[in-house]
Structure 1
Amino acid sequence: MSQAEAALRTIGQKETKMSLDNTVNTGRPVPEELVPSRYALRIGEIEVLVVSDGVLPLPTKMLGHNADPAVRAAWLDDMFLPQDAFDWSLNVVVVRSGSQTILIDAGLGLDPDLNLPRAGQLVKRLEAAGIDLASVTDVVLTHMHMDHVGGLLVDGVKDRLRPDLRIHVAAAEVKFWESPDFTHVSMPPGFPDALRAAAKKFAKEYRNQLRLFDEQHEVAPGVVAVRTGGHTPGHSVVRLASGGDRLTFAGDAVFAVGFDHPDWHNGFEHDPEEAARVRVRLLTELAETGEQLVATHLPFPSVGRVAVDGDAFRWVPIFWDY
Structure 2
Amino acid sequence: MKDFIHRKPFVFFYSVAFGLACLVWAYILGMEILYQSLNGPEFSLFQTFGTTQAEIRAASPVLHHHSDSIILYVATYIAMPIAFAGFFFPYAPSVAAMLTTGIGWGKDTLFKLLGCYKPIRGNLSMREGLKIYLSLYALICLAVVMIILKEQFFGDPERISGFLNHLGVIDWQIFLGAWFVASFFNQGALLEELGWRGFAMPLMIRKMGSPLIGALIVGVAWTFWHFPREIPPLLAGQQTLMGVFDWHVWFILSCCSASIVMTYFCNITGGSVIPAIIIHGMLNFVGGMFSTETVGARSAFTGESPIMWFICALIVLAIAGRDLGWKRRLELHGGDENDPSYAWSRPPNEAAAMPNSAKVPA
Q: TM-score range by the shorter chain?
A: under 0.3
Greater per-residue helix proportion: 2
Q: Work out which of the two has the higher radius of gyration on C-alpha atoms and give 1 or 2.
A: 2
